[in-house]
Amino acid sequence: MEKFEHEYGAEQIQVLEGLEAVRKRPGMYIGSVSIRGLHHLVYEIVDNCVDEALAGYCTEIDIKIEPGNIISVQDNGRGIPVDIHPKTKISAAETVYTKLHAGGKFGGDSGYKVSGGLHGVGASVVNALSTWTEVTIARDGGLFEMKFEKGKTVEPLTRIGDSEKTGTKVRFLADDTIFETLDYDYATLEERFREIAFLTKGLKINIEDLREEPSKKAEFHFEGGLKSFVEYLNKNKEKIHKDPIYIEKDGEVPIEIAIQYTTSYSENILTFVNNINTVEGGTHLEGFKRALTKTFNDYAKSHNLIKEKDGNLQGEDIREGITAVISVKVKEPQFEGQTKTKLGNSNVTGIVSSAVGEALANFLEENPSVAKAILEKCISASRAREAARKARELVRRKSALETSTLPGKLADCSSKVASECEVYIVEGDSAGGSAKQGRDRRFQAILPLWGKMLNVEKSRADKIYNNDKLQPVILAVGAGIGADFDISKIRYGKVIIMADADVDGAHIRTLLLTFFFRYMRPLIENGNVYLAQPPLYKLSKKGKPDVYCYTDEEMTKHLNEMGRDGVNIQRYKGLGEMNPEQLWETTMNPEHRILIKVKLEDAIKADEIFTILMGDDITPRRKFIEENAKYVKNLDI
Ligand code: 28G
């Protein structure tokens, strides 16, 4: 109780500061004033609806992006209390919207409001950062409204009519003098609300973007909760067992987990604490992994699926092909790590571990055929890991013995200062030849790629090491792969994929991005991977310098400027059509070239496309090709 009093006092001091502090330093409250911060305003308001749902009173949320970037959020909960505080003479609802932290860390009913981090700063922060806000509440038989401008009350809570219903509706216009942009990204919001709907079983979330006709909209409602989430993540993958394994346990730390194994070789475990994606993992993930490893090993031994003398299956073997979502609710979460997305509460490890251990052991006993199928995969993963280790040692031994372990086809640059060096990965020998002649050899290296395409989707690490197409890439980059990848060893600051703008080019790009994503992810996260952008057209006219165009729009623009008559349009079909000088001028010269830095999202997209194109499941592949047939044709002119 004493602690409560003390901290309440500290809160009050902040209240004195008022919402001006929020407008002065918005970044402190919502992270940034970029589009991310803007989206946070919406999440903040929707979080309040979700809390009301978790408390058991709200079943449906409507979110609208109205023309003019006005956000409207409505729930069918109890409605924010409208009673007037006898001392302050201010309604509870107005207090929530005008006082920093009101209803936050210590007030929340559901008890799972988040302290620290970016969430849970409260509706008052949204109000402070909005040009205007209006709140409508249906409750106690009445309909009430209140209005604010830049966080200041312009109309205190007023009864404007009667209502049989209950609920809260909030509309706000974010302040364009504070945010860099008000242009909400519908896809980003939609994805987050889908996620929240998965995480909040039974809650219906509707989102509609009315800024353009026809409007975009989506409705999310998952009675299966995380089971539906895992099915969604695995929709294009080949499953090893039909129904996800589902674990739900209430208690001091409520836990919900769903697991489903696929034939893929990667591990995909998402973790959430109080609906926040804990990207850096933490104690809940540790507890989960610990139980998974122990339970499968115990089962495998007691059912004679592995021999005592072979030792244990490693955690990574047991996680190969796993898709899992872990969601825990923690009363006072401690977030650690660089991005404050790592759960620190140490008691959570044991709680999750024992809940998972118990439930999983039961599941395996009751579903022996599923247990066997999963363990067969784990055992072959373990064999492959052993083979990969041998292959890796071979590569290492080679590098110790040979003076140069660089691939034969690599035309290296003379500088050895990685930060200033670049390697162009080029498909095909003819383009490779032009690139070699056209480059600035002081800092530009060329690695031509040829040989048969490896299907990373169907390959384990041992095959990757020995693949004739990818091994040169691994050796040239010089930093290993997978768990051994060491970014400090990279030999080039820029790894540039240079491919044609056609189907084959798209194929090699997808392959390389997928490979980097799965085996050299830090390279992408660190911003070292780029796509070269060769021109699509050359316009030439007597007496004028040639003009290179990189898009159709650019071409039309320049064509008009040059007065169309007598202009010769050359369309480049491939890199091989350019002579070395042209390739240097248009695509490799740092002064003129256009490089696109690959973001993690791009790689995730590539990985998804790759799964569809290369995976065993034919239906999504056919669907993808049908849906993209037009695009592919365009690329292939
Ligand atoms: C539509 C957009 C955003 C909300 C509620 C409902 C209650 C509430 C909200 O109470 C103050 C502090 C702790 C109880 C709680 C209603 C209890 C009883 C509520 C929302 C009072 C906040 N009746 N619905 N806040 N608590 N929806 N939607 O903001 O003691 S906020």
Residue of the CA atom closest to atom 9 of ligand 1: 80
Spatial contact of 359 and 247, defined as CB atoms under 8 Å apart:
yes
CA of 232 to the centre of ligand 1 (A): 32
- Identity of residue 484: D
Long-range Cβ contacts of 616-622 (<8 Å, 24+ apart): 616/238, 616/263, 616/458, 617/236, 617/237, 617/238, 620/235, 620/236
How does residue 226 score in pLDDT terms, banded at 50, 70 and 90? very high
75 lines ligand 1 (CB under 6 A): yes
81 lines ligand 1 (CB under 6 A): yes
349 lines ligand 1 (CB under 6 A): no
CA torsion through residues 184, 188, 191, 192, sign: negative
Residue of the CA atom closest to atom 13 of ligand 1: 107
- Find out whether the peptide bond into 590 is cis, omega within 30 degrees of 0: no
94 lines ligand 1 (CB under 6 A): no
Catalytic annotation present for 504: yes
Which domains, ranges and CATH numbers included, belong to the chain? 10-221 (3.30.565.10), 226-385 (3.30.230.10), 403-534+596-600 (3.40.50.670), 538-571 (no CATH)
Indicate the range of 11-15, 307-311, 318-322 predicted with least confidence. Answer: 11-15
Say how far apart CA 132 and CA 111 lie, in whole Å: 29
| Catalytic site residue from 504, 602, 608, 617 | 504
248 lines ligand 1 (CB under 6 A): no
The per-residue pLDDT for 7 is: 40
Spatial contact of 511 and 455, defined as CB atoms under 8 Å apart:
no
> Parallel, antiparallel, or unpaired: how do β-strands 422-427 and 444-449 relate?
parallel
More confident residue, 273 or 536: 273
More confident residue, 365 or 11: 365
Q: What is the pLDDT of residues 408-463, one digit of tens each?
A: 889 999 999 999 999 999 987 778 999 999 999 999 999 998 755 656 556 676 67
pTM: 0.68
> Parallel, antiparallel, or unpaired: how do β-strands 142-149 and 130-139 relate?
antiparallel
Tokens of 265: 């070789």
109 lines ligand 1 (CB under 6 A): yes
Report the number of secondary-structure helices (H) and strands (E) in the chain.
22, 23
How does residue 517 score in pLDDT terms, banded at 50, 70 and 90? confident
Best mean pLDDT range from 285-289, 480-484, 632-636: 285-289
| Catalytic site residue from 47, 231, 500, 607 | 500
More confident residue, 572 or 310: 572
Q: Per-residue pLDDT averaged across 509-535, rounded?
A: 89
| Catalytic site residue from 190, 195, 209, 427 | 427
107 lines ligand 1 (CB under 6 A): yes
Q: What is the pLDDT of residues 84-138, one digit of tens each?
A: 988 889 999 999 999 986 433 333 344 555 433 344 569 999 999 999 999 999 9
- Among 46, 48, 127, the mutation site with the greatest number of ligand 1 atoms within 8 A of its Cβ is 48
Q: Is the model's pLDDT at 637 over the cut of 70?
A: no
